[in-house]
Structure 1
Amino acid sequence: MSLDPPHRRKNLLTGEWVLVSPQRMNRPWQGERKSTAAAARASHDPDCYLCPGNLRSGGQHNPAYDAVFTFANDFPALEARETSPVEPGGFFQEMPARGEARVICYSPDHSATLAGMEDPQRRAVIEEWCRLSAELGARWDHVQIFENKGAMMGASSPHPHGQVWASDYVPTLVEREDACQRKADGSLLANVIAAEDEASERIVASNAHWQAVVPHWAAWPFEVLLIARDDVRRLEELTYDARDALAAILGRVLTAYDRLFLTDFPYSMGWHGAPHALGEDCAHWRLHAHFYPPLLRSAEIRKHMVGFELLAETQRDLTPEAAAERLRRLM
């Protein structure tokens, strides 16, 4: 099989480089293998701390909710309370960090997933994302909405849910994206959309309001970048039609993920919008979401960021073009 030679690609959003080594897809594998067969989940689990009516780990009872349900995280990574200021100076540096964290239960159905929902159900989750971005963004510098799906990605519960962490600072990766978009000629991600539309080989799915691609610089095997075609900076700016279109394209992409290895596909995903700390100084931003799934060759074999990746720079075997083609075939 003819393969491209090893080469490096630049991540335009962060400025980092990725080593692409397509020839390694032919190497034998005698590494980690494990069964991923999962028992069918009931629609309600009496032991699940996210199901309606159940007792949460923090001691609160969930209401008998019948739609999307959001609550303050019982074990938040950030707290809103004031802390003592850090004394300046010294060799080691630190700074206070404040914020708040919430959990979003996508559905009362314990067995549901975003991929398996109907568009109206996904639309309800999108509405909650938009609402929380606006509400928390009025108080905090940055609002990070994300989902860890599957035990492989560290999800503490199989119940369909995501999280929101709002902070009084702009996190490191978002700062890098802000800097790269700010110095670009025009809108960086609008330029990416135009270039990907022309190339077409990395597009997974597309509609009038969204483009889903395996980005040219993808680090994870089946990574997807979902970019708003409309000139919007934050979730709350999305129009009614754009929210409908988002529900539809999410269904297509996530269903393709599940079909790829015939498994309930694990991933981490998250939204990047202009930090609210920027106020109106965000014309360079374009709303987008990242999907980082770990699986590489099958439901049993995942990509490990180890060795060279930890010590030197990110590396991938499967080219983004080959990954996009495989996902497109499953639409």
Structure 2
Amino acid sequence: MSSSARPELPPSSIPIFTTVSSYREWRRRAYDERKSVGFVATMGALHEGHLSLVRRSLAENDLTVLSIFVNPAQFAPHEDLATYPRTLPQDLELLTAQSLSIAHPSSPDTSVTRKASALFLPTVSEMYPSGITQDVGVQKGTFVEVKGYGHQMEGKSRPTFFRGVATVVTKLFNAIEPTNTYFGQKDIQQALLLRRLCRDLLLSHPDPDHLHIVPTARDPADGLALSSRNAYLSKDGRKFATTLYEALRAAQSAWDEGFSKAECVAKAVQVIETKKAKVKSDGLTVDMRLDYVELNNAEDFEVLGVQETRRGNDPVILSGALWVDKTRLIDNIILGDANRIIG
């Protein structure tokens, strides 16, 4: 179903599919034509981070599909589902503007231009035929949980989050049937958990080797990790939004110098406390509250011991979350050999 069949949708040169059945008709043609399909899952409010994933897909696939779906199952009852930014007209403009020229497969001296091929824009009822509520205790229907890997890091602060993510992404993979799919490093625990999900559920579209984790897109001016939630920041809050990344960089330097985990975390906390003191001395009202800074094994997310130090080049996830007023910011750095994870 294209946008022309749904007058309430913004005009778009990209086909928009609002049902699984209509999308699958399109997907069958791609199968028949032996074309690869790259997939980028989003909740909309697109920014350069999302677009970098789209461009990666354009470079590596014949066709590229993007989904926009604000998933109720990954928001706890007290979280910002109702106010999460929804910017479909602007999203379509940004998506339509993405293009990439590559050498023609059968004629290297000429080029072809790839653009996004389709947008999957399902309703809540399409994605949750049995209905959905944010209260996990009264939910009915089928849900997916990756046991033992979702209670650390982000899962410790958001205990129902990864159940909601695993459920909706399994549904999206079943609907889209991507050859390759792309997730950002900013949500590193989510991306690694989904790669494990592909392996544990024996998925073929994608298989775990074709779930790609792309380095975090950052503001070129100050290094802030791009996020749809950055739009919530006040003018003064934005000035201090890089505090978490600066804290993680300080911990990274300490780790590289051979300090223990406890000492690295202390270095990060010190950066945050220094910034909080500057807020006060500048007479500002920005409220910064640290949720966590932690170092976790990249394989199973288990917390490193307080006295652990660098162990060769094994990848370790240094991550954190910081509230800046009412906006919760997350970020991470991969210590050790990031190439074992990213790519």
> Same fold by TM-score, threshold 0.5 exceeded?
no
- Which has a greater percent of helix? 2
Q: Return the TM-score normalized by structure 1.
A: 0.30
